[in-house]
């Protein structure tokens, strides 16, 4: 009888150790689940970073295009002013010529 009780006691100790191991495994499994969630979050962040890099490249392209447009606008303004000056001179010459013709007719 003592031997049976000792055997039962030993089996209970082994079972207690197994239960303790199972509890530790449960904690480890929960930690692994948390790690998996963190990994998924990092993967999502990586995708966001790729998107941000693309947006940054697009933004840089837009800035370059804006600079080219500003340079083109400045050239256009200068050409417009130069052309207006030229045409204003021609208009003045034309008016002077017509005025002279009219003055000759009147006087």
**Residue 37 tokens, joined:** 């969630």
Q: How many Cα atoms sit within 13 Å of 44 on the Cβ side?
A: 6
**pLDDT the model gives residue 73:** 96
Structure token digits, residue 5: 């009780």
| 41-99 tens-digit pLDDT | 999 999 999 999 999 999 999 999 999 999 999 999 999 988 888 888 889 999 988 88
- What's the rounded Cα separation, in Å, for the pair 38 and 80? 61
Q: What is the pLDDT of residue 85?
A: 83
The b-or-e profile of 17-55 (16+ CB within 10 A means b, else e) is: eeeeeeeeeeeeeeeeeeeeeeeeeeeeeeeeeeeeeee
**pTM of the model as a whole:** 0.49
pLDDT band for position 102 (cuts 50, 70, 90):
confident
């Amino acid at each position: 009888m003592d031997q049976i009780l000792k055997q039962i006691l030993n089996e209970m100790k082994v079972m207690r150790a197994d239960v303790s191991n199972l509890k530790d495994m449960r904690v480890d499994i929960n930690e692994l689940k948390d790690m998996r969630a963190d990994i998924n979050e990092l993967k999502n962040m990586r995708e966001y970073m790729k998107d941000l890099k693309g947006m940054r490249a697009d933004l840089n392209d837009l800035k370059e295009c804006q600079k080219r447009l500003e340079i083109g606008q400045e050239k256009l303004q200068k050409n417009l002013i130069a052309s207006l000056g030229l045409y204003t001179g021609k208009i003045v010459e034309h008016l002077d010529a017509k005025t002279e013709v009219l003055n000759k007719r009147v006087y």
